Amino acid sequence: MKQKIAVIGALTALGRAVLDGLSEQGFAIGDIYALDNRHNDGIQIPFQSGFLEVEKLDIFDFGQVRLAFLCTPSILSEYIDKVIGSGAYLIDCVGLYVEDHPCIIPSLNFEDCHRHRVILNPTSLTVTLAQVLSPIQEQFPVRSASATVLLSAGEFGGPAVQALIDQARSLYTREQPVQGPFRKMQAFNLIPEVYPLLVRQTTRQIKSLLHFPMTVATCLTPIFQGECYSLTLTTRCKCSTEQLEQIFLKSDICRMVVEGQTDSVITTQDSAYTDYIYLTHLSVVPYQANTYHLWVVCDSLRHGAVANAVRIAEHLLS
């Protein structure tokens, strides 16, 4: 049975991150095709101890692969039709297909994978929140939850990273700052931004996966990597913070940082390049019945978008 994988949009930041994730999980150079619709011949991407040569998307034969990652939204429907028509699975990592296709987190609902050829990889925010909230939901059903999300400006791609560096330097050199992709000066600034698509997808996906309502607010922060979430949840029955801590102390994905036992100040820098979700400052919200607050810190691109997509691929190919 063919086990080969195609990465569509291999030259994007997400495409390269997916390739890194596949490399870490032991996929060999001969198993992977790096595809892009940019007409640049001979481009090579480091992969394990060698290189992958980027192939042209418009002439690629998808009959060679069993599944493909979609890592760029700027893709013509004819290429998607070729993937699906070849009998391969398509893992949508950019939210191009948000209706009528299952949103998959393998630890929660992998059984839905084989019913569809197009599989929606949830937003990185959904993946993180679902894996924090689902173990609570199993023991103390959640009535509702809300999150204030501090988004990393650097995760909006290479131009955002460079603009952030230039803006920070301009504060000291008094040069004219480069605006880049930001609406306002982003360096050392917090900008309340509403990302309707991200918020809409995340709240709908949490409702579909965990069956309770979720609200999300977003703020863009001047950091290069990682995200923090201020998470508040209300359960249907009373529980103690000790009981919630015990749930996460047994988790393979979430790491509960208990105050007094270790350094309880976890930052996005601490979470960079790790697959763990760090939980800190768990507390009871006063004057609100069965309501709790905690901070969530993670490398959202790596843990969310990439790690979940690679796990889906591993299950489909197993």
Give the burial string for 125-139 (b: 16+ CB within 10 Å, else e): bbbbbbbbbbbbbee
What tokens appear for 85 in the block? 């028509």
Type of residue found at 311 = R
Mean pLDDT by 10 residues, the chain (318 residues): 82 87 87 81 83 88 91 78 87 77 81 78 89 93 96 80 90 86 89 87 91 94 90 94 90 81 73 84 93 91 78 86
Residues recorded for the chain: 318
Contact partners, residue 137, CB within 8 Å, separation at least 6: 210, 211, 212
What is the pTM for the complete model shown? 0.83
Burial class (CB within 10 angstroms; exposed 0-12, middle 13-18, buried 19+) of 100 = exposed
Query: How far apart are alpha carbons 21 and 238 in whole angstroms?
Result: 40
3-state secondary structure of 81: helix
- pLDDT on residue 212: 95
Query: How far apart are alpha carbons 312 and 39 in whole angstroms?
Result: 30
Say how far residue 71 (Cα) sits from the centre of its chain.
12
**How many other CB atoms are there within 10 angstroms of residue 218's CB atom?**
21
Rounded alpha-carbon distances, angstroms, from residue 205 to 59, 185, 210, 237, 298: 35, 32, 8, 24, 19
- pLDDT on residue 258: 75
- pLDDT on residue 124: 85
Where are the chain's structural domains? 5-122+306-317, 126-300
CATH architecture of 5-122+306-317: 3-Layer(aba) Sandwich (3.40)
Evaluate whether 96 touches 75 at the Cβ level (below 8 Å). yes
Determine how β-strand 5-8 pairs with β-strand 55-56: unpaired
User: Whose CA is closest to 246, among 212, 270, 282, 274?
Assistant: 282
**How many other CB atoms are there within 10 angstroms of residue 43's CB atom?**
15
Type of residue found at 233 = L
- pLDDT on residue 68: 93
Q: What is the CATH topology of the domain spanning 126-300?
A: Dihydrodipicolinate Reductase; domain 2 (3.30.360)
Evaluate whether 301 touches 155 at the Cβ level (below 8 Å). yes
- pLDDT on residue 1: 43
Query: How far apart are alpha carbons 167 and 176 in whole angstroms?
Result: 8
